[in-house]
Amino acid sequence: MSQSINAHGSLPMHCIALVGNPNCGKTALFNLLTGARQHVANYAGVTVERKIGLAHLRNGQSVSVVDLPGAYSLSAATPDEQVTLEVIEGRRAGEDTPDAIVAVVDATNLRMNLRLVLELKRLGRPLLVAVNMADVARAQGLKLDLARLSSELGLPVVETVAIQHNGHAQLLAQLEQHLLRPWPSAPANTTPASSADLQREVRRILALVAPQAPALGRFQYRLDAVVMHPVWGLVILAAVLFLIFQAVFTWANWPMDAIKSVMALAGDWILSNMTDGPLRSLLVDGVVAGVGGVLVFMPQILILFFFILLLEDSGYLPRAAFLLDNLMGKVGLSGRAFIPLLSSFACAVPGIMATRTIANWKDRLATIMVAPLMTCSARLPVYALLIGAFVPERHLGGLSLRGLTLFTLYVAGVVSAMAVAWVFKRVWMKSAYQPLMLELPPYRRPSLRNLAQGLWERATIFLRRVGGIIFTLMVLLWFLSTYPAPPVGWDASQGPAIQHSFAGMLGHALQYVFAPIGFNWQISIALVPGMAAREVVVGALGTVYALSGADASVADALSPVIAQGWSLATAYALLAWFVFAPQCLSTLAVVRRETNSWRYPLFMTAYLLVLAYAAAFVTYRVTLWLGG
C-alpha cells in the first residue's frame, strides 16, 4: 500500500498502474484520468520515462496513477518492458508497488492485447481490464461481449473511450469500488506459459467474445497498398518529411524572432534602468542571454513534436519506420532513427529528444551520437559569412556557386553522420542488424487532447531538464568573458575588452593549438563563446575585430575585413571545422539528460573535436598546396 495521504488526510492513497501494448491508447487514458495533475521524469538509472499523476474520483477521494511504458510481453526484451515488469513486481527501488493493475487493451486488436492480459493474470495481483477504443471497434462493426470476456478471464472488464470527455466513467466507478473492497486476486502462477499456450487461450476466448473478429480487416489495406508501396510510399514519405523540414525551419521563425525581441527588450530595459556595473552586466549578458538561449529553441521543439505526435497518433509513424528500416540498416541504424536525424537539421536538441521513439538502447545511443553531425541551422550564419566573403558570385550551369558550396556542406554532414554510425555500430556498439519488428496500428483520427497534452509535456520537460544547466553555463561563460577587467586607462581604441578576460587568455593560448590549421587568435577567441551557441561566433568575431552593431550589420562589416585579413585556406579550414564542430552547450546538456551520464557528452565532444581538427587540417594543407 502506498504511504501517500490523500487530500482529505485520512485514508492512504491507493496507487494503480496502467499497463498495455504500445498504441493501445494507454497514455491517452492516463491523460484523461489525470489531466494536468501529472509529473513526467525518468526512472532512476535509466532513460525510460516515468509518468505519474492524480485521478480524482467522484466520491472525493484520489488515486495515484502510474503510466508504465508500453510492453508486448512480461518476458522483457526492451528497457521499457524491463521497467514495467520491475514496477509491477515491486522490485524497483524507490517505487511503490501498485495496489492494482489496469490492463488497457485495444478493442480493435484483442488478439495481440489479450496475450499480455493473460501474463498479468498469472502474477496473482488485483487486475482490471479496460477495453479501450470501444468506439472505433463499433465503427468497424466489431461487437464485443464484454460480460463474456469478464467471465472467461475471471476479471472485472470495463469499456473506455480515452478521447471522449467522459469516456472513463466505468473505470472510475470500478476504482471507487476498489477503495471500499479490494478486487479478488487470482492465485499466482510462477510456471512460465509457453507462447503457443498463450496464443491458444487467446484464440479460444476470441471465438467466444468476438466470433466475427477474424472476418474483419485489421488494416485499411487499400490505403496501406499506397502508403507502404516501395516506390510511392517513399514519395509520400519524402513529401511529409519535406513539410516537416520546412515547418521546423519556417514556422518557427516568427516565434523565435518574437522571443529574441522580448529578450532584447528586457535587456534594453535593464540597461536603461540600472547603473553600469557588474550586476547589470550579469543580468543582461548572463541571465537574460541565458534564458533567451534556452527559450529560443522552444518553437522548433514544439513544431517538431507536434508533427511527431500527429504522425504517431494517426498510425503513420510506424509505417515510415518500416519503409526506411532497410536503408538505415545498411549503416546499422534503426528505421526509427530517420526522423530524429532529419529534425537535427533544424537543431540537434529536438533531434536528440526525438530518439526516445527508438526502443533499442544501442540504436538509440548511436543515433544520439551522430545527430550533431547533421547541419543544424546554427551553422548557417557562419556558413553565410564565410561563403559570402570567399566564394565568388558565379554560376555554373545556371546554379549558383555559393549555393552549391552550401549544398556540399550539407551533404558532407549527412555522409559524415552515416560513416560515423557505420563505424560505431561495428567497433564500439557491436550488434548484428535486426530487422524492425513492429505491429502496425490502424489509422486513427488524431486526438486534439493528446496533441495538446503531449506538447505541454515536451515543453515542461525541455525547460526543466535543459533550462537549469544552460542557464548556469551561460552565467559561467559571461564571467569568463568579463573578468578580469581591462587595466585602468584602457579604451576601446586599444582593442576589444574580451582579450583581457579569461576567455581572451584562453583564446591566445588556443592559438598555439590551432595554428597548424590556420586559425589566428581572433578565431580562437570566437570559438570560446561559440561553445554556448555556434551562431554567436559571428558576433564574437565582430567584437574581437572591434566592430559593433546588430548581428546583421556585424556580418556585413565583418565580411570585407576577413576577406582581406584571412587566407582562402583559413576560410575553408573554418568551414570544414564547423561541419564537425563540437556541440553547443545545449546539445551536450540534452545528451547528458537523455543518457543519464556525463560519459557520452564528453565522448561526443572528444570525437567531434578530433574529426573537426583533422578535417580542418587536411582542408587547410590541401588548399595551401593548391595555391590558396
For the segment(s) 14-216, the CATH number from 3.40.50.300, 3.30.930.10, 3.20.20.140, 3.40.50.10800 is 3.40.50.300
Query: CA 574 to CA 88: how far, in whole Å?
Result: 54
pLDDT for residue 291: 65
**Residue 245: its pLDDT value, please?**
61
Average pLDDT, stretch 449-466? 74
Does the pLDDT value for residue 5 go beyond 70? Answer: no
Q: Which of 176-190, 213-227, 263-277 has the largest mean confidence?
A: 263-277
The pLDDT tens digits for 111-154 are 888 999 999 998 888 999 999 988 888 877 788 899 999 999 99
Question: How would residue 327 be classed by pLDDT, with cut points 50, 70 and 90?
Answer: confident
Distance of CA 281 to the CA centre of its chain: 33
Q: Is the pTM of this model over 0.85?
A: no
Give the C-alpha separation, 459 to 452, whole Å: 11
CB-based contacts of 25, cutoff 8 Å, min separation 6: 104, 106, 132, 133, 160, 162, 163
Mean pLDDT for the stretch of residues 179-183: 69
pLDDT band at 290 (very low <50, low <70, confident <90, very high): low
Span 509-515, mean pLDDT?
A: 89
Lowest mean pLDDT among 102-111, 181-190, 448-457, 599-608: 181-190
Per-residue model confidence as pLDDT tens digits over 518-545? 998 888 877 877 776 676 676 667 656 6
- H helices, E strands: number in the chain: 27, 9
pLDDT, average across residues 597-603: 92
Q: Report the pLDDT value the prediction gives residue 302, as an integer from 0 to 100.
A: 82
Tell how strand 38-42 and strand 395-396 pair up. Answer: unpaired
In this prediction, residue 614 carries a pLDDT of 95
Residue 346 is predicted with a pLDDT of 67
The radius of gyration of the chain's CA atoms, rounded to the nearest angstrom, is 28
**pLDDT at residue 4 above 80?**
no
Percent of the chain whose predicted confidence (pLDDT) is above 90: 16
Pairing of strands 62-67, 38-42: unpaired
- State the pLDDT at residue 431: 58
Each domain of the chain, given as residue ranges in start order, spans 14-216
Task: Report the pLDDT averaged over residues 563-586.
Answer: 86
The residue with greater pLDDT, 162 or 535, is 162
For residue 82, pLDDT beyond 90: no
Beta strands (DSSP E) in 397-507 are: 399-400
The answer on pLDDT for 517 being more than 90 is yes
The pLDDT of residue 104: 95
Q: pLDDT for 328-385, tens place per residue? A: 777 878 777 877 887 787 678 878 887 876 767 788 888 999 999 988 767 776 787 7
* Confidence category of residue 548, pLDDT binned at 50, 70, 90: very low
pLDDT above 70 coverage of the chain, percent: 78
Quick one: which of 440, 161, 451 has its CA closest to 310? 451
Tell me what pLDDT residue 292 has: 67
Q: Are 372 and 543 in contact (CB under 8 A)?
A: no
Inform me whether the pLDDT recorded for 608 exceeds 90: yes
Residue 587, classified by CB atoms within 10 Å of its CB into exposed (0-12), middle (13-18) or buried (19+), is buried
pLDDT band at 547 (very low <50, low <70, confident <90, very high): very low
CA separation for the pair 578, 372 (Å, rounded): 11
Q: Are 450 and 28 in contact (CB under 8 A)?
A: yes
- Is the pLDDT assigned to residue 48 strictly greater than 50? yes
CA distances from 365 to 46, 362, 526, 531, 543 (A): 13, 5, 31, 22, 38
Question: CA end-to-end span of the chain, whole Å?
Answer: 74
What is the residue whose three cell numbers read 576589444?
Answer: 496
For residue 477, what pLDDT is reported? Answer: 66
